[in-house]
Structure 1
Amino acid sequence: MDGAEFAQLSHAQIQKLKDAFQYLDENSDGRITKEDLLAVCTGLGMHKSEEEIIKMIPSETQDITFPSFLALMGEKLSKLPETSEIENALRSFSSPENGELNIDTDELLQYMSYLGPDLEGDIEAVFKTFVTEQLSGKAAFKGNKFLEAIGE
């Protein structure tokens, strides 16, 4: 991550990344190791093989320090679209009078399936957090809650 990308991270983003780092650093030694990642994934019910865990750590190191975590995550964050772009995309799926950005889950899933099968697990994870059942019995994606979460 060069200085320009780092400068684009807000204080709030850096604090959230610090909190995430501390959460992942199971033994609080200032480094995220494959053992830390394995423990966190297991605790979250995500059963990963050692090979999958090793792929999460940059190949040039055995563990991740906070500065390298910040650089890695900052690089990933810089590639994400602006929140306003995501909001505009979500508005295209919701009805104009729907200020809550509640989107029919079946319709959204149909469009997202065009992105490819590699994203299926990621989509399911997001939907578990941001989908609710409406009184009609249909599932709805809570666009505003999603935007709040990614905007922090």
Structure 2
Amino acid sequence: MDHSISLNFNQLSQDHITKLKDAFQMIDGDGDGIISKTDLQEMLGSMGKLNSAEVIEQMLGRKGNSADGMSFPEFLSVMSDLSGEFPEEDELKQCLKNLAEEQSSLNVPLDDLIQSLKDAGFSNPEEQFGKIFKTFSSTQKTTSTKIFKGDSFLATISDD
């Protein structure tokens, strides 16, 4: 491991580290303790994603990792840095409350959420977040309006 890599784990709870260890082991298909190009190609292929050499090099090249692979401590370091790029749960709650029709709920009309994402600069949120929308949306029986279930979504991504 490159010792110039700063390992900043203070942003990760023990539960989060455990979840990341499980994810690392899932990606490390051959179980050698290193996420290699082959491991990433297989993981991306299983998800139906294009696995171009450029994307894989970019994934492995973060934080000065060897192009040959990434160890678990390096993976933790990358994930710790990435976790700072995502909004806090309280920020997500506030955004959903701002869009919700009832302030006591985080359920948002899906069309309103999609429009807000477009306004925020996402070019095609229907495609970019399609799986999330499918998993966390339902149709209201009374109005036939599709609703994004923000409470359920936040419960899934929360560390609690």
Give the aligned residue type for 1:87: K
Question: Which consecutive residues of structure 1, in runs of 5 or more, have no partner in the other structure?
Answer: none
Q: How many residues align?
A: 150
Task: Determine the structure 1 residue equivalent to 2:140.
Answer: 134
Q: Does 1:91 align with 2:97?
A: yes
Q: How far apart are the structure 2 equivalents of 1:48 and 1:90?
A: 33
For residues 94 and 138 of structure 2, the distance between their equivalents in structure 1, rounded to whole angstroms, comes to: 21
- Secondary structure, in 3 states, of the residue corresponding to 1:132? strand
1:122 partnered with 2:128: yes
Equivalent residue number for residue 12 of structure 1: 15
Runs of 5+ consecutive residues of structure 2 not aligned to the other structure: none
1:82 aligns with 2:85: no
Corresponding position: 1:71 with 2:72? no
- What is the alpha-carbon distance in structure 2 between the residues aligned to residue 72 and residue 119 of structure 1? 27
Separation of aligned partners in 2, 1:143 and 1:123: 14
What value does the CA root-mean-square deviation take over the aligned residues? Answer: 2.2
TM-score between the two structures when normalised by the length of structure 2: 0.81
More deviation, 112-121/15-24? 112-121
Q: Is the contact between residue 99 and residue 113 of structure 2 (CA under 8 Å) also seen in structure 1?
A: yes
In structure 2, what is the Cα distance between the partners aligned to 1:80 and 1:10? 15
TM-superposed CA distance for 1:42, in Å, is 1.3
**What SS does structure 1 have at the residue aligned with 2:120?**
coil
Shift of 1:44: 1.6
Per the alignment, residue 149 of structure 1 pairs with 156
Q: What is the aligned counterpart of 2:27 among 24, 31, 43?
A: 24
CA distance in 2, matches of 1:97, 1:74: 32
Greater shift after overlay, 10-19 or 113-122?
113-122
Q: Under a length normalisation based on structure 1, what TM-score does the superposition of the two structures give?
A: 0.85
Which is richer in helix? 1
| Aligned amino acid, residue 29 of structure 2 | E
User: Is 2:38 aligned against 1:35?
Assistant: yes
Match of 1:57 among 37, 49, 60: 60
Partner SS for 1:6: coil
Cα distance 1:45–1:73, how it changes in 2: closer, same or farther (>3 A)?
same
